Amino acid sequence: MASSNEKIRINREITARELRVIGADGENLGLLSAADALKAAQAAGLDLIEISPSAVPPVAKVMDYGKFQYEQKKKESAARSKAKVSETKEVQIKVGTGENDMRLKAKKAAEWLAEGHRVRAELFLKGRYKGMDEAFLKTRLEKFLLLVPYAYKIAEPVAKSPKGFAGVIERDAKASSKAPAAPQP
């Protein structure tokens, strides 16, 4: 099918000399010259629409142009509704974030993962926290990731970021289809 940004050629706008024509009832009329195909469409009181201009020879269908436009819009609408919009959500913790707050944020991250979003977990450092041992800071963020009660895989490992340390996780389709992950200690 022609995409929405291409101009659909109908009737006399079709430039190909020979067309593979599909009749109004879906029957294959075979290879016809453009003039013969147009006569067949006019005899049926319908339009000749080029539905696959890139095929060799191009494919044209005998049908009502209004009905064709309606079906195209319906297909595009269905495709748009099935398209899943995924974005990267962000969870920010600090070195002093309490255990309960971390569990709440991990639960929220699990909800976002269940919706199909990626989650960027960031350990925010300010002031003297920036001078702390990097191994300790990485461990703190990894400990938070272990609290997330959902099957995930690491999209970007924990690494230094402009604000501190960050890592990105995303839903693990294989593990989540088998069974939901239990919260890890």
Mean pLDDT of the chain: 83
pLDDT score of 178: 47
What is the per-residue pLDDT across 102-150, written as a single tens digit (0 to 9) for each? 999 999 999 988 888 889 999 998 888 888 888 888 888 888 888 888 8
Contact 120, 88 (CB under 8 A): yes
Residue type, 114: A
Give the dihedral of Cα atoms 135, 141, 143, 147; nearest 10 deg.
-170
- Range 62-97 burial, b when 16+ CB lie within 10 A, else e: bbeeeebeeebeeeeeeeeeeeeeeeebebebebeb
Tokens of 90: 């962000």
What's the predicted TM-score (pTM) here? 0.50
Q: CB 21: neighbour CB atoms within 10 A? A: 25
Query: What pLDDT was estimated at residue 185?
Result: 45
Distance CA 26, CA 116 (A): 40
Q: What pLDDT does residue 126 have?
A: 86
For the chain, which domains are there? Answer: 11-81 (3.10.20.80), 88-178 (3.30.110.10)
pLDDT band at 175 (very low <50, low <70, confident <90, very high): low
CB 90 within 8 A of CB 119: yes
| Tens-place pLDDT, residues 10-52 | 888 888 888 888 888 888 888 888 888 888 888 888 888 888 8
